[in-house]
Structure 1
Amino acid sequence: MYLKVINPYDQKLLIELPFDRGKEVEGKVAGARKAYERWRRLSLEERARRVEQGLKYFRDHADEIARDITLQMGKPLTQARNEVKGFFHRAEYMLSIAKETLAPEILPGKPGFHLRIEHAPLGVVYNIAPWNYPLLTAVNVVVPALLAGNSVLLKHSPLTPLIGRHFEAAFGELDPPNLVTSLILTDREASQLIGDPRINYVAFTGSVATGTKVYQQAAKRLIDAGLELGGKDPAYVAADADLDFAVENIVDGACYNAGQSCCAVERVYVHQTLYKKFIERAREVMKQYQLGNPIDEKTTLGPLARREALPFLESQVKEGVRRGARLLLGGKRVKGMKGNFFEPTLLADVPNHAKVMQEESFGPLVPVLSVKDDGEALARMNESRYGLTASIWTRDRMRVELFARELEAGTVFQNRCDYLDPCLPWTGARESGIGSTLSQYGFYHLTRRKGIHFRAR
């Protein structure tokens, strides 16, 4: 059996790769376990040195990796290069805090006792990574897992398997070998692997439905799992917002990467005093997107990664219009192009119960609703089963502090959106997931606490 990777721009076969089966999977899992047994015994300083050695591969192959991202999932090349830069930002930050975060905590002891807390590695980390940010979502787990003393089995998305191979090329050839191993598995085999007793932790990014199954499987073995399950991230433009700044950033936050981001802006609430101007300005900004070959430097909106996303987005738009929304721009796939292109879409007066305001879209859609005041905005923003990020566009720090206290979200932004700072934990509320990556908390989820209780005689 072979995995066929299709270029979403021209629908041509990009590459065929064999699936890992039977003995191949067994060999890779055994190799990861053997690597862990050697790796965990190295000092943190030595592990950090070798991780930096692995990062050199990404620096030497940065252009190739960016191009592979673009060819596999359609991200414009300029944005793929930005993803490579973001990869280094996150990896280098986690390296910078590893020593302090993973150091044993020496506790004030009673006379004759030595008490400390160690952050022990878990073992083999099974990382199931998505296609939308194939470098960034994987590095969130791979680098801190290695620094903490674990080995990694990386099962990348079937849309972006070449990125899994790059991680293996970078870290899998270090000493010990098989430290990071790329797996190409069917969905069934990927699921079955969670039951392997040599797997000690599962990190999954994807849908709520699949994440729920992953969590259930992990629970059967009493191992932990980190789940990032997406969002329906709201933005609120308050009455005192810098309107032009807010419009440009919110539209970019909704349409960057063709909207295929778990923290993309997916619904917008605008104070009634700015609502008409916001709509007019947003329409002007969205008309400026250049659709085309993502390899072309001039392209600012590439194709969607998945063909099946096109009818799904169309159905969301139609359902919203049926419920009273006004379609001001876009709303359908682009005809006459082989690629999976969807028009930048602006919807006004969208009822909050419409699917486009409640279901994750993962496309270049900007649905907007007018609100009378901060209280209504807060209520509408919290009317969701998700809780990944939320952004407040205001000059008033006191206002945003109130929203930060009351919003059910993992991250609350003021005058920013669609961004991860690695010094903060990437986490979600409600159905947006469980656990954290990045920051010191990303290390805590990839280690277990070990109490050391010594008594001298």
Structure 2
Amino acid sequence: MTDAQAPAQTGTNPSAPAPAGARTAADVVTPELVARLTKGVTGSGRTANHTPFTGEKLADLPESTPEDVALAFERARAAQDVWARTPVRRRAAVLLRFHDLVLARQAEVLDLIQLETGKARLHAHEEVQAVAVAARHYGRRAAAYLRPKRHTGAIPVLTKVTELRHPRGVVGQIAPWNYPLELSVGDALPAFAAGNAVVMKPDTETCLTALWARDLLIEAGLPAEVFQVVIGEGPVVGPAVVRHADYVSFTGSTRTGREVAQGAAARLVGVSLELGGKNAMLVLRDADIEKAAAGAVRACFSSAGQLCISIERLYVHEAVADAFLERFVARTKAMRLGTSLAYGADMGSLVGERQLETVVRHVEEAVAKGATVLAGGVARPDLGPYFFEPTVLAGVEAPMAVCTEETFGPVVSVHRFSDVDEAVEHANSTPYGLNSSVWTKDARRGREIAARLRTGTVNINEGYAPAYGSAQSPMGGMKDSGLGRRHGSEGILKYTEAQTVAHQRLLPMAPSLGMDDEGYAAFMTRSLKAMKALRLR
């Protein structure tokens, strides 16, 4: 993109000043810390990770081979049976202690999250919040979710039925880089509460955060062997995890998710997948424009847009579009970018070169095909190698890549609409179906429109946080955005096998008491009619 295509955009986003005496990567990632966190990691090779803020190396790390993965599963299986026989309330108590430790020592992990992902500190704190919520929820509710349940039997009174829930065994978890605390340990917590062991493969570039969480869980009382971590390249280590797991939990791209699903299906093991999104936000004619503009900044640019449930498409009613854009663009241009390990920056860096290349490609192609840059649109190498300004585009149309592909960066396209049905149709027009947002002062209308949107979660008058933070309710995607759900009952029961135990009493399910076959059939016919008349379920 040339300066002529985006005049006056470079430098409009101020940088957040670093506080005096600010901590550096060397202050945080010490050799002692790395040695403590990597203790017990099954890996015979060596690799390293880096910070997006500068590109410098953070730590030397053990690297796992497929043989190391097999050994990690062997160790986890040896420990899982004892853990499964531990009473569920004692397992849940580990989560509650972990909750307290995370909140008490959050400064440690906030530094790690920022250094490994490049995100602003407030966005890193979203992960602390989400993990604490999940730990509290399953710490309090796991026993109720997992307790034996009585059901009406085939013949009331005569058939006594109980549903039991057994752990699957060893869960293989493949976690992404963008939310290295929440999308690693946050998904593992219900698996542990259900009595499983976990072998986790975090992304190499963000594995210190996941290892910190493992260390804290062990401090909270989790047996160390129950939680194994393997580190290595996805194409090498990922298939090995799928090959040995009794259940697979994956968060990442739709393309890789399909490969994971195929590998799990070949072994007839279950899988949950949270995949990509091209999420839409609808601003209706009666929306509070000030609140909608502020909410759009949060929804579009949190974690530099590297969030599967962030907003990449804005549909604004034409009657309020000018007023909304004036406020939204001004707020976007005023965002402060920064690298400090402290609160103050509004947005941080992209995670690496691949993400920056995608963002640049999407923006440059859109501009070349006629889109207009309303804010941002340029990289900021003066701040760090992967910084890119929060960007607002108008005039985006198919077949521009930014119109249909997931950007996963700080780029949003704005579209005007005149009819709500039209807006809903456009919002639903992608293969994805993860999250969406509706802004209106009419709560009833908002709920009606939400029900028409083909996404796993819908937020009214906010972008993504209310639905995701409501841990009692399921969260996941429709269409190409995935299979299964995290949170709520589905988020823990997926890590279990259901077993029905039916105890037949007094009379068999067969001719008895002198009845012949015809008499038994007539008796059962009368019984079935009676059960319907009595509204038995």
TM-score (ref. length: structure 2): 0.81
- Report the AA paired with residue 67 of structure 1: D
1:118-137 matched pairs, under 5 angstroms: 118-137=164-183
* Matched residue type, 2:290: D
Establish whether residue 193 from structure 1 lines up as the match of residue 250 from structure 2: no
Report whether the alignment pairs 1:230 with 2:279: no
Matched, 1:215 2:264: no
Identity rate, percent: 31
Correspondence list, 1:145-184, <5 A: 145-172=191-218, 174=221, 176-184=223-231
> Could you tell me whether the CA contact under 8 Å between 1:74 and 1:294 is conserved in 2?
no
Which of 463, 476, 488 is residue 439 of structure 1 equivalent to?
488
- Gapped runs of 5+ residues in structure 1? none
On the 8 A contact 2:312/2:411 being kept in 1, the answer is yes
Determine helix, strand or coil for the equivalent of 1:144.
helix
Q: Measure the CA separation in 1 of the matches of 2:356 and 2:66.
A: 36
Cα distance between partner residues in 1 of 2:51 and 2:309? 24
CA-to-partner distance for each residue in 1:202-247, whole Å, 9 max, x for gaps? 1000011111100000011000110000201100110000011001
Say which SS state the counterpart of residue 165 (structure 2) adopts. strand
Q: Check the 8 A contact 1:7/1:71 in 2, yes or no.
A: yes
User: Which residue identity is paired with 1:61?
Assistant: R
- Aligned partners of 1:155 and 1:164 also within 8 Å: no
Q: 1:83 aligns with which of 127, 130, 139?
A: 127
Q: State the 1:106 CA deviation.
A: 0.7
8 Å Cα contact 2:242/2:260 also seen in 1: no
Mapped contact 2:176–2:183 kept (Cα < 8 A): yes
CA distance in 1 between counterparts of 2:398 and 2:420 reads: 16
Larger Rg: 2
Structure 2 partner of 1:51: 95
> For residue 6 of structure 1, what is the aligned residue in structure 2?
50
| Matched-pair contact (CA < 8 Å) for 1:253–1:265 | yes
* Distance (whole Å) between structure 1 residues aligned to residue 233 and residue 354 of structure 2: 19
Q: In the alignment, is the contact (CA less than 8 A) between 1:9 and 1:294 conserved in 2?
A: no
CA change 1:236–1:19 in 2 (3 A) is: same
Q: Which moved more, 1:68-77 or 1:111-120?
A: 111-120
Q: Distance in 2 between matches of 1:111 and 1:88?
A: 44
Matched residues in 2 for 1:192 and 1:302: separation?
32
Q: Which residues in structure 2 correspond to 1:232-311 (within 5 Å)?
A: 232-311=278-357
User: Structure 2: how far apart are the matches of 1:430 and 1:143?
Assistant: 26
Structure 2 stretches lacking a partner, 5+ long: 1-44, 507-537
Q: Compute the displacement of 1:390 (Å).
A: 0.8
Please give the per-residue CA displacement for 1:314-365, whole angstroms capped at 9, x wherever unaligned.
2111222233321111112114333310011111232255321221111111
Offset of residue 105 of structure 1: 0.9
Aligned length: 456
Cα distance in 2 for partners of 1:363, 1:238 equals: 25
**Residues 66 and 236 of structure 2 are in contact (CA less than 8 Å); yes or no, is this contact kept in structure 1?**
no
SS in 2 for 1:452: strand
1:61 Cα deviation after fit? 3.3
Which residue does 2:364 correspond to in 1? Answer: 318
SS in 1 for 2:353: coil
Offset from partner CA, 1:135-170 (integer Å, 9 cap, x none): 111234211101111111111111111122123213
Distance 1:164 1:263 in 2: 21
1:33 to 67, 71, 77: 77
Pair 1:450-2:493 in alignment: no
Matches within 5 A, 1:409-420: 409-419=455-465, 420=468
Task: Give the Cα separation in 1 of the matches to 2:325 and 2:222.
Answer: 56
Q: RMSD of the TM alignment (CA)?
A: 1.8
Structure 1 segment 335-350 matched on structure 2, within 5 A: 335-350=381-396
Aligned mates of 1:242, 1:297 — CA distance in 2? 28
How far has the Cα of 1:57 moved from its partner?
4.4
Name the stretch that deviates more: 332-341 or 438-447: 332-341
Q: Distance in 1 between matches of 2:188 and 2:103?
A: 16
* Compared CA separation, residues 308 and 196, structure 1 to 2 (3 A): closer
CA contact (8 A) 2:98 2:217 kept: yes
Mean alpha-carbon deviation: is it higher for 405-414 or for 110-119?
Answer: 110-119
- 150-159 or 82-91, which moves further after superposition? 82-91
Structure 2: distance between partners of 1:177 and 1:456: 45
For the residue of structure 2 that corresponds to 1:362, the secondary structure is coil
Cα shift at 1:23 = 5.4
Aligned pairs for 1:323-402 (under 5 A) are 323-351=369-397, 353-402=399-448
